[in-house]
Structure 1
């Protein structure tokens, strides 16, 4: 009898702790923990908790009123204003990175991985090689017709 009572108290304390955690946790954190737990249980115990619909329903219930943060995006006018008005003496490097990144369709990691050796001066043109790109690229030379 005592053993089951201790087990009950332990379970109650743990559940009470979870309830307090859930009340204080952010919505995105709850989904993150759920995702981590789902992956761990899938790998270690071969249990698919996505079939437990009460869990996802509970998380959705706690999402009422949640507004995800939106990334700020430059408008075309802001990009033009930066390129036209920013001083080359101060912002030349940022302008070059901006032009290569935006017009080259580069990801952040691709920009960081670039070095001076990736740029080749061919007189009237600069050829920029993007290292370790995930984007398929098919170079062509000469007329297309």
Structure 2
């Protein structure tokens, strides 16, 4: 089937289900998290190519104002998220970690080899990214330790 014909055929169905998916996200906003199994890292598997972790805390006192950390384990192949210059051994083995607050100089970015520089417990209870960012605990209580060093890559 030609690409244009395939798109014209699939487009009506895709646009019918998109509101359903966005409705799910809207209904979940502000609700308690009830699926702790989603926190397990998917490393070396074939079903998942990447895992995303994010911890964002607003309304902190000055000078920080907020705390944010974002971890992408395994590059997903999306232009907005991938950093080709950060690839360690392979895109699937690369983890990128960013941490920031509003305080001057309180930012950190680094890439790691998931297999060589990280410790990722299969149950998600310990996610150690080179000792620079560590997320540990079990649902619903987690601790995040982060190095807020000057931005560095590699």
Q: TM-score, structure 1 length as denominator?
A: 0.24
Give the TM-score normalised by structure 2: 0.23
Higher strand share: 2
Higher RCO, 1 vs 2 (CA within 8 Å, ≥6 residues apart): 2
